[in-house]
Amino acid sequence: MTTLMRESRLTEIPFVDLRAQSRALHDEYEGALWPVIDRAAFSLGPELAEFEEAFAAFCECGYCVGVSSGTDAIKLALLATGVGPGDEVIVPVNTFIATAEAVSHLGAKPVFVDVLADTASIDPQAIAGAAGDATKAVVPVHLFGQPADVEALQSVADERGLVVVEDACQAHGARYQGKRVGSLGSAAAFSFYPGKNLGALGDGGAVTTNVLETDERLRLLRNHGQADKHTHAVIGYCDRLHNLQAALLTAKLRHLDMWNAARRAAARRYDELLADVEGVTPIACRADAEPVYHLYVVQVDDRDRVRDELGEAGVQTGIHYPVPLHLQPAYAHLGHGRGDFPVAEALAGRILSLPMFPEITLKQQERVVATLTKAVARR
């Protein structure tokens, strides 16, 4: 092993640093978790109710229902707003498979649309052309923590009579035209996977809504359709967010605005450091939005080589996402091929996610950018 390789490993810059957050809040975590453990009451308890109330207030909407994962949050949000077998749901192809997977779990069909080249987010103009008689809903994804253009797509949805269910799994706390994501559609899905801006001890999720009937149906669906102890009003699921997760999330929620502000500050530093770097194009941010930068994503040529060079220099990166949904083997039965969604396909070969977490330092970012600058210069 060379000296350079040893030094790179010793000074590696992580893509996400979950340990830094845990170390800083160790005592708060213990204070949140031990009361639940001492009571040995782990499901549907006061900790869950407290978190649901707090997260609804954070999202500036009426109701929140904690569930078992972000995927289940999308599934239950769609089901509670009327999507079922045989329906169609419009989904962007540049997203994690869970967005479409949740549609498929309901016996509905995901209908794919392309994205915008600058923001990598769903193209509102594509929705009208994709909607048919069986289309019931559209799922805008607030990708990378950047809100989608909800006003534009809501206009199309209203014309077509479509339900709008937000996939806010990467966007806890983001704002669009002054309003929090999670309050913009008929319902919204959040993920609390550990690497999210608000992360749990494992999988976890929530659905937010301003509609009382939707809230009531969600509470039935997540708990075996149970209206009371021995009465099951509908066929439901075992999709509960447990009390340990809820207690931890409540403790972390108190810090989320501060963490999101730190992410925005880090994004501004990246913007400034990359401003004069030829060959690097950051994903654009909407002027009417306040993103939370779950990810900081750039476009580069020869992405895989560039990423390899960053890795060799001790800079961890990610790709979100290298294969658009229409080219995934799981959705081959829909009959799409390469060239059907050219914007997403072009992005898939160029996008690179740089290290981003609230605790990232200026020195770390300067090293990331210096390494990236050298890599893109070697074309």
> Checking phi first, is residue 85 left (phi over 0); if not, alpha (psi -120 to 50) or beta?
beta
Exposed (0-12), middle (13-18) or buried (19+): which is 12, by Cβ within 10 Å?
middle
Angle formed at CA 281 by CA 278 and CA 354, multiple of 5 degrees: 105
Q: How far apart are CA 116 and CA 131, in angstroms?
A: 18
CB 141 within 8 A of CB 121: yes
Res 174: pLDDT: 98
| Residue spans per domain, the chain | 22-250, 255-377
Helical (H) or strand (E) element with 189: strand 187-191
Structure tokens at 206: 């929530």
Helical (H) or strand (E) element with 103: helix 98-105
Q: How far apart are CA 252 and CA 352, in angstroms?
A: 28
Res 228: pLDDT: 87
Q: How far apart are CA 289 and CA 303, in angstroms?
A: 28
pLDDT along the chain (379 residues), means of 10: 44 94 90 90 93 98 98 98 98 98 98 98 96 97 98 95 98 98 98 98 97 98 93 96 97 98 98 97 97 98 98 98 98 98 98 98 98 94
The residues with which 297 forms a beta bridge, in sequence order, are: 353
Q: Please tell me the pTM assigned to this model.
A: 0.96
DSSP three-state, residue 282: strand
Task: Read off φ and ψ for residue 212, nearest 5 degrees.
Answer: -60, -45
Res 95: pLDDT: 98
CB 78 within 8 A of CB 135: no
Please name the CATH architecture into which domain 22-250 falls: 3-Layer(aba) Sandwich (3.40)
CATH value of 255-377 in 3.90.1150.10, 3.40.630.30, 3.10.580.10, 3.30.465.10 = 3.90.1150.10
